[in-house]
Structure 1
């Protein structure tokens, strides 16, 4: 199983972006300067190359958005493939649902999904996601996994593919969770351009740290 399949969860995050001015009036609520209103899936044929570094062990992966929206549990999906694995994402929200091998057999899955996005997105937003997780290949499963998410910023991020404006979203562990990390989602590109993922020593697969950056992006 490729490492990125375990952590990408939502690498394909396209959305429509609405920008409003911040309010300074004491009599009105503050309005987010940048707000992503809703998930809008990238088109079939979009390709992107990821540069992945797991504690000094480096590799690249090339992913392609498939022309396949076959529902999963009644939910329309967005599917991407690296030639060996298929990622299945909730087409309505962009949240990761499961990863399959090239024959369609489940490798890992989350129910109902990972919940790593809650629309609309803006700096300062927080939410809690609860999910069940199954590692089918290892015969392991957990219920009521809790993850806390926070949109910590909207900033320039530089990766091999270029410099992009991106939301920085941090996640920290709650109940039955042993992972932490940060993603940088670039609305103009419709993809996560950078990610840091860490498993703690309490994780069933042991400690690791994986850094992923966008090396190339080719829209469909």
Structure 2
């Protein structure tokens, strides 16, 4: 009887944990987070330290400033949704193009971001992005800011594009009664359709009000990794929120030490 009671008790605890709902954070001006950012672009790796700070909070969005040690004299400002979603103009309409978090969050919840953009660049007639997200579960993750119990969100998406036609000049043209000669004529190569994959993963911590780690990868049409970005939290300051043991108290970027002055030649 005691075993049956224990099984029922543990099952109820598991069900309660799964049913736990995480509400949207209340962001405040001066909330800030410092990340180590690693970008890999076709094999080349670049590291930087970026500090993100909330400068203004509105009814349905926040203005965020971003400063990187790669350009210490430059501050970039962007507008985000209150849930950290990103919107921009697509085909003349304001469209959500990125939504890694959909509150309230709970294990098993899923949502989808999908949009088609006409002429996103000179090489493409159109591109469609499809990003299905799902809350996988709770997971311990360790980053430079400390060890956190985080809610893991994953997305395995796809992109599909129709390429613009290409004009090839000075094509070799075969003529009747003569050998092939090179002329100044041009020919048009019709556009083709290509597709690839996205992988995104975020580890969200409620009392941090943001993710402590993220991975975003872009795969080309032959499934090779073309670009990736990994961020890991180094420090944060969210108005006295709880911090893990040993975590820094302020989100200050970790800058590389200054180069030593050149040695003077002795006479």
Shorter-chain TM-score range: 0.5 to 0.7
- For residues 131 and 68 of structure 1, do their structure 2 counterparts lie closer, same or farther at Cα, with a shift above 3 Å needed? same
Aligned to 1:85: 76
2:50 is aligned, of 53, 61, 69, to 61
* TM-score of the aligned structures, taking structure 2 as reference length: 0.56
Following TM superposition, by how much is the alpha carbon of 1:46 offset from its aligned partner in structure 2, in angstroms?
Answer: 1.2
Return the index of the structure with the highest Cα Rg. 2
Alpha-carbon distance in structure 1 between the residues aligned to 2:200 and 2:108: 17
Three-state SS of the structure 1 residue aligned to 2:208 is coil
CA contact (8 A) 2:154 2:200 kept: yes
Following TM superposition, by how much is the alpha carbon of 1:94 offset from its aligned partner in structure 2, in angstroms?
Answer: 3.2
Q: Give the aligned CA root-mean-square deviation in angstroms.
A: 3.4
Alpha-carbon distance in structure 2 between the residues aligned to 1:85 and 1:141: 30
Aligned to 1:218: 237
Deviations 1:92-127 (A, max 9, x none): x4322259xxxxxxxxx9713423322221122222
Aligned to 1:45: 30
2:95 is aligned, of 89, 97, 111, to 111
Q: Which residues of 2 match residues 17-166 of structure 1 at below 5 A?
A: 24=11, 30-31=15-16, 32-36=18-22, 38-55=23-40, 56-69=45-58, 76-83=60-67, 84-91=75-82, 93-98=83-88, 111-132=95-116, 144-166=128-150
CA contact (8 A) 2:64 2:78 kept: yes
- Does 2:216 align with 1:197? yes
CA contact (8 A) 1:41 1:78 kept: no
- Does 2:188 align with 1:188? no
Three-state SS of the structure 2 residue aligned to 1:188 is helix
Report runs of 4+ in structure 1 exceeding 4 Å deviation: 132-136, 138-144
Q: Which moved more, 1:169-178 or 1:77-86?
A: 169-178
- For residues 64 and 184 of structure 1, do their structure 2 counterparts lie closer, same or farther at Cα, with a shift above 3 Å needed? same
Following TM superposition, by how much is the alpha carbon of 1:143 offset from its aligned partner in structure 2, in angstroms?
Answer: 6.1
Three-state SS of the structure 1 residue aligned to 2:140 is strand
Paired positions, count: 178
Task: Say which structure is richer in helix.
Answer: 2
Alpha-carbon distance in structure 1 between the residues aligned to 2:49 and 2:230: 12
* TM-score of the aligned structures, taking structure 1 as reference length: 0.67
Structure 1 unaligned segments of length 5 or more: list them: 1-21, 70-74, 100-108
Alpha-carbon distance in structure 1 between the residues aligned to 2:230 and 2:221: 20
Alpha-carbon distance in structure 1 between the residues aligned to 2:133 and 2:231: 19
Alpha-carbon distance in structure 2 between the residues aligned to 1:193 and 1:142: 34
